[in-house]
Amino acid sequence: MSRILMRSLCFLLLAAGLLTACSKKKSGNGPAKPQEQGLVVTLTDVSETTPTAAPGASYPFSVNVTSTMPAQGVTVTVEVKTQAGTVIPQPPMPPQTGTPIQVTLVDLPELKTCTVTITIASVNDPEKNSVTKTFVITNKTDGPGN
């Protein structure tokens, strides 16, 4: 009786192993994509630790990708919000393949402090390869001609 039980158990284990092996899905067509180097980014002409002073309603700065630039480039998304939470729309940027990347903030409100969040993401793998930087900026002017 135990011999029949052992054979049945071996058969069940073998069948389960075959079902598991045969049910594996293929992982795509062709070889796996090489993994990109993680993005490393620095900002020029702004401070991430102390507020930056803008001399007017617009302010240019640079984003430097110091790691290897992904083959298809990066997207740059800029969000500017006042302390009250009002979003100040910024012009969209096309994908970038060179560094430094020139960014100009626009429509900064007079005598107000804003938080700028800039996200740099690989065009090829934005979910796994992105960097977000944040800094504070204040437009120090109080109107045209002042």
pLDDT tens figures, 18-43: 455 555 554 556 566 667 889 999 99
Token readout for 126 is 């934005």
Q: Rounded to an integer, what distance in angstroms lies between the CA atom of residue 126 and that of residue 26?
A: 24
| Residues 90-142: tens digit of each pLDDT | 999 999 999 999 999 999 999 999 999 999 999 999 999 999 999 999 998 87
Query: What is the predicted pLDDT for the residue at 35?
Result: 79
Q: Which amino acid is at 42?
A: T
Starting at the edge strand found earlier in the chain, the sheet holding 113-122 runs 52-54, 130-139, 113-122, 74-82, 87-88
pTM: 0.73
In three-state secondary structure terms, 66 is coil
Q: Find out whether 109 and 19 touch, Cβ atoms under 8 Å.
A: no
Query: What is the predicted pLDDT for the residue at 141?
Result: 83
Residue 134 phi, psi dihedral angles, 5° rounding: -135, 140
pLDDT confidence band for 146 (50 / 70 / 90): very low
Query: What is the predicted pLDDT for the residue at 142?
Result: 73
